[in-house]
Chain A
Amino acid sequence: MSLLKVSRLSKQFGGLNAVQNLSFSVEEGMIFAIIGPNGAGKTTTLNMLSGLLTPTSGTIALNGQDITQLTAAARCHLGLGRAFQVVQPFPEMTVEENVMVGALFGARQSKQLALNQTHAVLEQTGLLRLKDTSADDLTLLQEKRLEIARALATHPSLLLLDEVMAGLRPKEAQEAVELIKTVNTSGVTIIFIEHVMPVVRDLADQVLVMDYGTPIAEGSYHEVTQNPQVIQAYLGTDEDAA
């Protein structure tokens, strides 16, 4: 059984079909990439998966359980973690407190256990020495790490990452790739949206390509980058070509 199964998912905003008839499944342990030009519906898809948007039609099943109607918090409790494209730390809290929110309410454990787990996650993401820093004072790379740390603290079995590489320098992106690999090795299945193609090549076991809200190809990195339809989608809007 697939860890995540998305069937005929659609989302309309007024007359706009942001996502149309999208089906895919993700196996446990996999790193799954969703790519496509701007406006392809990738973030909309992630928002429907994490419960921030209600689909117009279609279903989402996690571990065989239909979660389409569940709230974001309930999905989090079932093991769905999410890091945002635009980093949104809680600015009035320290790094440690930010992660504690996930450890307390996502993973639902006592304060002492949550604190231990928070420290483990901060260690893993390289933020431990910054734990008492205000989240307002972090660099972009640190903010991205915090974004991942908070999601990890909720103890996810499936982690959704929305363009975590955006804005990072190549060396920083490489560090982030290593971090994602480590997280995956520790048993977390990952779905990520990415524009930076070398990152997709290095990480993804499976790639789904979207354009204008519909899936146009799915397969290994090698397969999809040879696909004529994909090449056309990218060349049509060359600002997104990488």
Chain B
Amino acid sequence: MKLRMNLVLLALAAVLLFFLPDLLKLFFDKASVSYLSLLINATSLAILALSWDILARTGQLSLAHAAFFGAGAYSTAILVKQTDVSLWLGLPLAALSAVLLALLLGSVTLQLRGIYFAIATLSFAEVLKAVIQKLPSSLAGGAAGINVEPLFRPQFIAGEMERWEIAFLRNESYFLLYAGLLLATIVLSLLIESSSLSYAFSAIRTNEEVAAVMGVKAARFKLLAFVLSSMPVGILGAIQAHRIGSVSPDETFNVGTTVLALVTPIFGGLYTSLGPILGALGLASIEEFLRRTFSEGYLIGYGIVLVLSILFMPKGIMGLLRSLRKAQRESL
């Protein structure tokens, strides 16, 4: 029942997102371009955060998101470079390579818990990066990387002199692609939440031994969560590769991806579908606001915001909302 209601809300959100680029143009005219790029940032951050949270629900803290992102980006880039097949085939291929990577690495490392698992997964991206650099550059581009053909034509604004890349980035079809991927990730997360998986995930998270004695095969569920969590990130990597127009070892396997994937859901509120999304909207807006206000050194301000939020809302935005609602109920 709850699932059905959420899916209806999601369908409404889908309609809104579909018309959002046009609405932005209507309200903000030329400035709509920067709002659209803010939205793209928020959406991709939400995909990273929500997919990360899926594994976190089993109690495993992953630092592997840059690896899945990079695997998706590079498999698409190599496919596009080496073959003449449709560009769109890169997206399912990216999902597949992220899943295979998750299966391979997860089956080895998921028996580690807590900080040990985190450290093991941190090495995934570094290892992949080194492998890409060592592969013959005719295949994987070496340290310089590979150019990736765009999925959509560039959009120019009449009468404006601007660089091609910007015109490429602006294409609003990309926003629809990101929004579609986010919606799919939300559906995945909601399905997990309403299925019996959610019982297994939180049992494993709170007490793995007791869960095992009650018949929960922890290893299998953690691997499943890892695989499900890797899939959206792989596709995200592929879309980003097309939009940016290139992949390179340093840019694509960026530790920043890994950090954002865990900071955002913590900021928004862990173990929910809504928390990571609120976190992404919040962080992307704060970052944009700070960048416009202090163009130099805005990252210091961003850091301060994060520290303060951890200190004053340890359970994230969701925790804050929950305690506000509780206070309201008690005052009635």
Q: Which residues of A are in contact with B by a Cβ distance under 8 Å?
A: 50-52, 71-73, 76-77, 82, 84, 88, 90-93, 97, 100-102, 104-108, 111, 114, 150-151, 153-154
Contacts and interface: CB of A to CB of B under 8 A. Distances in A.
Nearest to B194: A111
Given A97-B199, A101-B199, A114-B196, A91 B206 contact: yes
Q: Is the interface of B mostly helix, strand, loop or mixed?
A: helix
A102 B215 contact: yes
Nearest to B271: A92
B214 to A, nearest CB: 5
A151 B215 CA distance: 10
A108 B215 contact: yes
Interface in B205-242: 206-207, 209-218
Interface residues of B, number: 18
A88 B215 contact: no
Interface string B287-330: 00000000000000000000000000000000000000000000
Contacts of B207: 88, 90
B203 interface: yes
Contacts of B218: 73
Contacts of A52: 209, 212-213
A56 to B, nearest CB: 20
B215 A90 contact: no
A51 B199 contact: no
Interface of B: 195-196, 199-200, 202-203, 206-207, 209-218
A150 B207 CA distance: 14
A91 B205 CA distance: 11
Of B195, B202, B203, B209, most A-chain CB atoms within 10 Å:
B203
A97 B171 CA distance: 47
A84 B211 CA distance: 12
Contact of B206 (A90, A107, A150): A90
A100 B211 CA distance: 11
Nearest to A82: B213
Nearest to A76: B215
B157 to A, nearest CB: 51
B199 A72 contact: no
Contact of B215 (A84, A97, A154): A154
- For the complex of A and B, the 7 pairs showing the least CB-CB separation, nearest first, are A106-B215, A76-B215, A72-B212, A105-B215, A105-B216, A90-B206, A102-B214
A92 B209 CA distance: 16
A105 B199 contact: yes
A107 B215 contact: yes
Contacts of B196: 100, 104-105, 111, 114
B111 to A, nearest CB: 12
A93 B200 CA distance: 11
Nearest to A84: B210
Contact of B211 (A77, A101, A153): A101
A82 B211 CA distance: 11
A98 B207 CA distance: 12
A150 B214 contact: yes
Contacts of B206: 90-93
B213 A90 contact: no
Nearest to A50: B213
A66 B218 CA distance: 22
Contact of B214 (A93, A97, A106): A106
Contacts of A106: 214-215
A100 B209 CA distance: 17
A73 B203 contact: no
B213 A51 contact: yes
Contacts of B199: 93, 97, 100-101, 104-105
Nearest to B207: A88
B212 A73 contact: yes
A92 B202 contact: yes
A105 B200 contact: yes
